[in-house]
Amino acid sequence: MKAEVALTVESTTVHVGLSERSYDIHIGLNNLSTIGELAGELGDISHVVVITDSNVRDLYGETVLKSLSQNDFQVDIMTVPAGESSKSVSILEELWQQMLSLGADRKTVIVALGGGVVGDLAGFVAASYGRGVRFIQIPTTLLATVDSSVGGKVGINLPGAKNMVGAFWQPQAVLIDVAVLESLPARDYHAGLAEVVKYGVIQDEDFFNQLENNVGLILERDAEFMRDVIARCCELKAYVVENDERETSGLRAILNYGHTFCHAIEACAGYGTYMHGEAVAIGMLCASRLAEALGRITSEDTARQHNLLVQLNLPIALPQDLKREPMVEAMKRDKKTEHGKIRFILPTRIGHVELVDDVDEALALAAFN
């Protein structure tokens, strides 16, 4: 079954069709308080555990707890420190122990309330506790709404190896409140926009055109426009996930456009120097330049990406003093590398990308500049 988008004045639903693992993504304005009703509809629940972080709890914890408490199940909340370091074995173990202390069982439903870190961590608690319990994603960053909360990739980091331990575990539902965008710091919001641009390049030229023509609305965080932007990204991602849930056919790999360069930049610049979306923006331009060097795309199409990313306040180049050679070495260590060959997702035009795995290292090195 293919993804469907049903637009109404106030809210949009995107369906992810995965047989018995199908679910809906509900996208609306000020709809956080509907979480109680949404959880209640799952049925056969004794207990809901909200997993969130210290920042998000202050902003949205009360609304979510109040809505959930209108049902007759037990409601608890577990809070982890904000930041990537919470995606660790030690925090995971603490959460398992707390779940046990709270009497969590197979009828417990986890609600992941937060950005990508919380979604990945709470999702992995759901995938592993009691050999798997149900969970609902409530993403609260732009990046999480358009990418990590959809598609079931959950997990934690090992020291020096991001997302190395995890699972494919689909949520029962995703609830997106576009109002959360208002509270995001400018840098987080702009970083999230890099993944939005990515969908236009990899799958949908019309969508890319719409972004180019509406930069003002995007920068103003216009709720109605951004609701439709998020819905389109979710629809495009749903199509990919429906057709390659476990990343076996190569289709899901297209979501990694710019990410081979991005992961090397993150590792060599030092984690935290660039936000993930910022490194994605630079990485997409590196990938497009590489595609140009291979005669796969025109310089005009690279320029369109460059111009849009600049208008969205994203970085587009690396500092000169950041050494390029170690980044090529880092690319070779990427967990998506196969038999020592670095694989790239490269565009052939705006709206279409291909997997390319026989690239000369010297060309990859040159693409950083």
**How many residues line the site for ligand GLY (CB under 6 A)?**
5
Q: Is 161 exposed, middle or buried (0-12, 13-18, 19+ CB in 10 A)?
A: exposed
Would you state the structure tokens that stand for residue 145, as one six-digit string? 């709404």
- Other CB atoms within 10 A of residue 224 CB: 12
Pick the closer one to ligand GLY by CB: 8 or 248: 248
Q: What are the φ/ψ torsions at residue 16 (nearest 5 degrees)?
A: -105, 110
How far is 108 from 76, CA to CA, in rounded Å?
10
Closest approach, Cβ 233 to ligand GLY, in A, equals: 11
Binding mask 233-272 for ligand GLY (x = CB under 6 A): -------------------x--x-----------------
Q: How many CA atoms lie within 13 A of 258 on its CB side?
A: 26
Report in angstroms how near the CB of residue 259 gets to ligand GLY at its nearest: 8
Q: Which helix (H) or strand (E) holds 338?
A: none
Stretch that binds ligand GLY, among 30-38, 104-112, 147-155, 197-205 (CB under 6 A): 147-155
CB of 97 to ligand GLY, least distance (A): 29
Rounded to whole angstroms, the Cα distance separating 213 from 208 reads 9
Asked whether position 147 contacts ligand GLY by CB under 6 A, the answer is: yes
> Active-site residues: which are they?
131, 153, 195, 237, 247, 252, 256, 259, 263, 276
Tell me the per-residue interface mask from 160 to 199 with ligand GLY, x by CB under 6 A, - otherwise. Answer: ----------------------------------------
Cβ-based nearer residue to ligand GLY, 60 or 344: 344
Residue 14, CB half-sphere, CA atoms under 13 Å: how many?
Answer: 28
| Shortest distance, position 169 Cβ to ligand GLY, whole Å | 12
Cβ atoms of 188 and 141 within 8 Å: the answer is yes
Q: Which of residues 80-119 bind ligand GLY (CB under 6 A)?
A: none
Q: Indicate the burial class of 99 (C-beta count within 10 angstroms; 0-12, 13-18, 19 or more).
A: buried
Member of 47, 87, 153, 306 binding ligand GLY (CB under 6 A): 153
Q: Which residues of this chain interact with ligand GLY, rule CB under 6 A?
A: 147, 151, 153, 252, 255
